[in-house]
Amino acid sequence: MDALHRVSLRRMLIAVLLAGVMVGSLVQVWLTWHTARQAVNAAFDRSLLGAIKAIDANISTESGGLAVELPYVLFEFFELTASGQVYYRVATQDGLVEIGNPDLPLPEQPLRERQPHFDTVEYAGSQVRIGSYLRSLPQPIGDSSDTRLIIQVAEPFASRDQFSRRFIWGAVARDVLLAALAAAAAAAAVAWTLRPLRQLRQEVAARAPDDLSPMDTSRVPKDVLPLVEAMNQHIFRHRELLDSQRRFVDDASHQLRTPLSTLLTQLSFAQRATDLPTVQTALGALREQLKHTIHQTNQMLALARADTCDLATQQVDLAELARGVTKRFWPQARGQQIDLGLETPPQALWLPVQRALIEEALANLLDNALRYTPAGGRVTVMVEAGEEGACLSVSDSGPGIPPDELPQAMQRFFRASNSQGTGSGLGLAIVSAIAKRHQGSLVLRRAQSEGGLQASIVLPCVDLRTP
């Protein structure tokens, strides 16, 4: 099957259509041959029946015997039509009274009155066609007591065969010509129908290597349109991947250049220092800058992974996932004197997600909340099921984000005007990218109970049953 699939579509269609035309032509020729023979036999049999009727019209029984007053001109006309000698027989059914050729054979099955019967038999050394006709007499004639009269006329097959051959071969030649025309029309139709595919191939082949614009579908046949649309979707995804890689390179070159320059400066300052306290101070600053650079690099790698990694989903209990991630942040929350709480429903919330990505998204939300919440504040992780899907949210009692800046908060490297300390500005962008990869969304609003920011990951396809 694979070898057949690799065959040219044009050749395959032409081969299939020509095979169908050939089989249809053979069937048509057979039907034509059979129908033509029946038509020729029917025509000649009607002529034979006319001869029988003419003989019947010239039969006389007035003298008490059997007489046939057949004009010689009419009999010669019969022989001329049959292209040979014509035989006839008129006799009672018992054979006691008869005129004509007495050895003409009778049909094997009984004759029905006034119903002509035709047979093809061997007679006088050749094949003849015999027509037999039975009718009743008003009274017996001659020495016979039988009132049923049989009239038979036989003609040779020569003229019938000659006419049949001319008629049948003419019909067959016509069918062969029509089959050839049908085959040529099928090949031309296939070539014309596949012309848009050739044009599409030429258009794709003529494209520049960096041309990732979608292909024009205005002249694409309806049957091929899904394929072209799928190709356009692939082009769009490939363009998104290239854009993501380009953004990552641009962001990396922009965001890491300054921290690396700062590290080099701090290292040079430490090398020039002569006293131990100054060296320790420089090394401490160098350590903090390294931590910040490592965190920023990890955030950028996480964002790139969220944009481009394969989404291998599995059924995950969202409440159990939130419980595990929150436990990892309890030591940090206690160290900062922050009350970190968790609220989950009594039943499990099963979702088809990639566990590692959802854990990373929740970790980013918790890291942001703990980073900007002051000591003595509150951070709450909540899992709940709503009409739109499962909701995984983190709310805090920190300063939040100004309402007019909320639409820009999920952009890369955005930092709110009221933010304190250092940060990469990538945490919410990572969470938003992960939510979109799962056909969900990240919703930011003011926390009603805590007063700070509430970041909610809304994921579709909630299943409250155990998988």
Label each residue of 147-206 as H, E or C: CEEEEEEEEECHHHHHHHHHHHHHHHHHHHHHHHHHHHHHHHHHHHHCHHHHHHHHHHHC
Q: Which two tokens stand for residue 425?
A: 């500005």
* Centroid of chain to Cα 414: 46
Mapping DSSP to helix (H, G, I), strand (E, B) and coil, where does residue 118 land? strand
Q: Where are the domains of the chain?
A: 11-165, 227-308, 314-459
**Distance, CA of 426 to CA of 415 (rounded, Å):** 9
Mapping DSSP to helix (H, G, I), strand (E, B) and coil, where does residue 416 land? coil
Could you list the beta-strand ranges (E) of 262-406: 314-317, 339-343, 350-353, 378-385, 390-396
Cα separation values, 291 from 15, 166, 278, Å: 70, 102, 20
The pTM assigned to this predicted structure is 0.46
DSSP state of 410: T
**Distance, CA of 183 to CA of 189 (rounded, Å):** 10
- Residue 386 CB neighbours (<10 A): 10
For the domain made up of 227-308, the CATH class stated in words is: mainly alpha
Cα separation values, 176 from 24, 179, 327, 426, 442, Å: 11, 5, 85, 76, 72
CA angle 37, 79, 34 (to 5 degrees): 0
Helix-helix angle 318-335:355-372, to 10 degrees: 30
**Distance, CA of 216 to CA of 193 (rounded, Å):** 18
Q: Which two tokens stand for residue 341?
A: 């709480």
What torsion do the CA atoms of 26, 29, 33, 38 make, to the nearest 10 degrees? Answer: 100
**367: closest CA among 304, 312, 424?**
424
- For residue 118, the one-letter residue type is F
Q: Are 420 and 368 in contact (CB under 8 A)?
A: no
Q: Which two tokens stand for residue 290?
A: 């390294």
First to last CA, the chain: 39
What torsion do the CA atoms of 319, 322, 326, 327 make, to the nearest 10 degrees? Answer: 60
**Distance, CA of 6 to CA of 31 (rounded, Å):** 37
Q: What is the pLDDT along the chain (467 residues), one digit of tens a residue?
A: 455 455 566 677 777 777 887 888 788 778 877 887 788 778 788 888 888 888 888 888 777 777 777 655 566 666 656 566 788 888 888 887 788 888 888 888 888 888 999 988 888 888 888 899 998 888 888 777 888 889 988 888 777 777 777 777 777 788 788 888 888 888 888 777 777 777 777 777 887 877 778 877 777 777 777 888 888 888 877 777 777 667 666 656 655 666 677 777 777 877 777 787 877 887 887 787 777 677 667 666 666 666 666 667 788 888 999 999 999 889 889 999 999 999 988 888 888 888 888 888 888 888 888 888 889 899 999 998 877 778 899 998 888 888 777 777 777 666 666 566 555 566 787 788 888 888 888 888 888 777 788 888 888 865 544 44
**Distance, CA of 33 to CA of 360 (rounded, Å):** 80
Cα separation values, 386 from 262, 390, 459, Å: 48, 6, 10
Q: Which two tokens stand for residue 260?
A: 């690396």
Buried b (16+ CB within 10 A) or exposed e, 429-448: bbbbbbbebbebbbbbeebe
- Residue 395 CB neighbours (<10 A): 26
pLDDT at 133: 92
For domain 314-459, give the CATH number.
3.30.565.10
Could you list the beta-strand ranges (E) of 69-166: 87-92, 98-100, 117-123, 126-136, 148-156
